Amino acid sequence: MKKLRIVYLGTPGFAATCLETLLNGRHEVVGVVTAPDRESGRGRIITQSEVKKIAIERGLPIAQPERLRSEEFLDLLKGWNADLGVVVAFRMLPEVVWSMPVMGTVNLHGSLLPQFRGAAPIQRAIMAGATESGATTFLLTGDIDKGDILGRVIVPIGPNENAGSLHDRILESGKNLLAKTVDDIADGVARAIPQSDVISELNVDILDAHKLFKEDRKISWLRSAIDLHNHIRGLAPYPGAFTTLPDAPEAPVKIIESQVVNDHSGELEAGEISIHEGRLYVGCGKPIQDSENGTLEILRIQPPGKGAMDAGSYLRGLREEIASFTV
């Protein structure tokens, strides 16, 4: 069995787990590229990426370039003489980097490409109400997330699942898919399938998974209850969907967990709050095919400056009654 020389590029915990999986396989990781150390927290403590921590534990050569096109970094990369590049959760690479290994560079993406191309595939899939997601390995090209597919694994999405739990399940499946893909490349049995072929064969829609911004997180209570439920769980536990109270527009209240319920006390206007037996309900907009407004029960909530708590604890801690959230 052929043993490949691999240069690995990644930064967060997701990438660190995949690196460990490769290190436990038959191939040799000859170098690791990760983000530079950063200051974080109130004490401005210097922190290392999760990938760097693994690399240090395993005694691997490490590069942390600020500029991926710098001559110093490119010379180091050439010196590693890798057969294959592997990228998991790293920044966009210039062609001079991804094309350097003789077998090219493989990327692991947290969706079923060609669906949900972009920086936030796990969150966007849930926010869109998708019932399945997964992981894809593909060859990097100059077009973001559009390279030929090497492997896919499907992961179903539960109706109340949030992005945190889906992330963990995709990681578990994805790390094994990545290891298999690298083995297949080494053994000469990998088959690269153009994404255009997948689009025509499966008749899938091309859905965007662009980076999340603050405005993406804000709740509009004019949307239907099911849309808002998907929105909330797609952003949970982090960074969190948020709303505000009319008298405190600059103090975001995060909604961490919800469920869609039948309106228990007559129709509520969008954003209107009903409190019944220690439970918190909010009126939502009308579904497209339903004449009645939906209702969302808030199960977990995080007030400004506090930790997440169940709705009952939140209600008991209120100093004044609340009638509605900002629409």
Task: Domain of residue 231: give its range.
Answer: 214-316
pLDDT of residue 292: 55
Is residue 253 in some structural domain?
yes
Asked if residue 94 has a cis previous peptide bond (ω within 30° of 0), the answer is no
> Is the same domain home to 184 and 108?
yes
Total count of residues recorded for the chain: 327
> Is the same domain home to 151 and 285?
no
pLDDT of residue 49: 97
pTM (predicted TM-score): 0.93
Strand, coil or helix: what is 167? helix
> Is the same domain home to 37 and 176?
yes
Is residue 210's pLDDT more than 70?
yes
> Is the same domain home to 198 and 221?
no
Q: Give the separation between CA 302 and CA 324, rounded to whole angstroms.
A: 16
Domain final residue pick, 167, 202, 237: 202
Is residue 284's pLDDT more than 70?
yes
Instruction: Convert the pLDDT of each residue in 10-62 to its tens digit.
Output: 999 999 999 999 999 999 999 999 999 988 777 788 999 999 999 999 999 99
H/E element holding 5?
strand 5-10
> Domain containing 263 — which CATH number?
3.10.25.10
Burial 48-68 (b: 16+ CB within 10 A, else e): bbbbbebbeeeebeebebeeb
Asked whether 255 and 240 are in contact (CB, 8 A), the reply is yes
> Is the same domain home to 193 and 270?
no
pLDDT of residue 84: 98
Query: Averaged over 202-220, what is the pLDDT?
Result: 90
Q: Give the separation between CA 25 and CA 262, rounded to whole angstroms.
A: 51
Is residue 278 in some structural domain?
yes
Burial 9-27 (b: 16+ CB within 10 A, else e): bbbebbbbbbbebbbebeb
How many domains does the chain fold into?
2
Instruction: Convert the pLDDT of each residue in 53-99 to its tens digit.
Output: 999 999 999 999 999 999 999 999 999 999 999 999 999 999 999 99
Half-sphere exposure of 149 (CA within 13 A, CB side): 20
